[in-house]
Amino acid sequence: MLMNLSPMVASTSSFYIAVGCASALIIVITAVATACYVRSQKTCIRNTINYRRDPPRDVPVHTQTFLRVDTPNNANAIAGYSSFRRLTSSSTSAPVQMNNLRISELTEQICEIAVEKKKIMLHEKIQEGTFGHICRGVLIDDGNEVNVKQTAIVKTVSEQASKDQISMLLAEGMKMYGINHKNVLPIIAVCMDNVHHPLLVYPFMNKGNLKLFLQKCRFSVEGHCHTLLTQDLVAMAIQIVEGMIHLHKKDLIHGDLATRNCVVDDRLHVKITDNALSRDLFPSDYHCLGDNENRPVKWLALESLLKKEFSTASDVWSFGVTLWELMTLGNQPYKEIDPFEMGTSLQDGYRLSQPINCPDELYHLMALCWVTKLEKRPTFSKLLAFFQDFYNALGLYV
């Protein structure tokens, strides 16, 4: 799908509240940008956190798979990534965590990391959408009279971008502000010299977007990209879990966890990112269900999809889909299901089936993430304990 400030909970609805204030936001930012001075960027702190080891045992694994509700059991269906399986359906009930980032807070945060345009050099485009794109760039820090050049990625908008889209870029891009963790990619600078083309700067990861990287590994000729083993994929999952644990400790709900919102380098280090520009760069991953909100329908928990309720448990559900993406090397979840039918399908108990070559233990974990009752889903700390044990067990056979 960063803070020692007031808690932020990322939800799609909260961003559209910010969008509603788009014009006021642009005016306020314009005034503040002229008064902001260059601040020294913060040094990322690598945190190592120990957690209690308590593997989840909430739900038994079901092995039967279905393509449709009326399709009889067929062993050949198991091979399809897009086939479904049915779980026992039950009602949802749990406290919901919601929080809105006020425009005044957003403006203050932007001011703290604002830099002048001359400090940012833009190079080639890495990804491009309809109204936004990501470039490789260089951030120049001239503190202590010594110019330090840091390779970076820069998110910005095109001439076609509306004020609403600019406001959404800023609101979503600042979501990871102030978070320091080895598995989270924070925003490190913002340039507001041109309020119609803000520049959001992040540390550079040389393999880029995780979803695109996984797809390259799946389709590329042998030797031209990484050959990913199960142990590599589990290691990536561990890093995502550790990043999510840290976000939740900071009272931040991601709300859009997916491989498209992660980045990776050539050593397979993974960092979670915000979802700024994701709707534009990955349009097939987002759908509008007639409510004027473009949402990641096929990654959302049932309660998020039906009630727009987001919590740590809904992030766990999204992680289950993200894990499925990892094990399929970037395949599209529920690709045969119409977005308008997702709520009904999930209520009827249908879930993604076990990917080819996915160990039973990992699929069991996915199924736990997709349990309807929030309190029955594993926490990220429990997921971490399981993954660490599973990773160590895989190492015995290598």
* Residues noted as catalytic: 256
Ramachandran assignment for 174, one of left (phi > 0), alpha (psi -120 to 50 degrees), beta (any other)? alpha
First to last CA, the chain: 33
3-state SS assignment for residue 164: helix
Quote the tokens at residue 348: 């009827």
Q: Which residues of 151-188 are buried (b: 16+ CB within 10 A; e: fewer)?
A: ebbbbbbeeebeebbbbbbbbbbbbbbbbbbbbbbbbb
Residues 84, 41: Cα–Cα separation, whole Å: 47
Report d(CA 99, CA 250) in Å as an integer.
Answer: 13
The count of C-alpha atoms lying within 13 angstroms of the C-alpha of 175, restricted to the half-sphere facing its C-beta, is 33
Please give, one letter per residue, the 3-state secondary structure of 106-150: HHHHHHHCECCHHHEEEEEEEEECCCEEEEEEEEEECHHHCCEEE
Q: Which two tokens stand for residue 362?
A: 């990992």
198 in Cβ contact with 276 (< 8 Å): no
3-state class of 384 per DSSP? helix
Tally helices (H) and strands (E) across the chain. 12, 11
270-272 and 262-264 strand pairing? antiparallel
Query: Nearest-5° angle of CA 19, CA 23, CA 24?
Result: 95
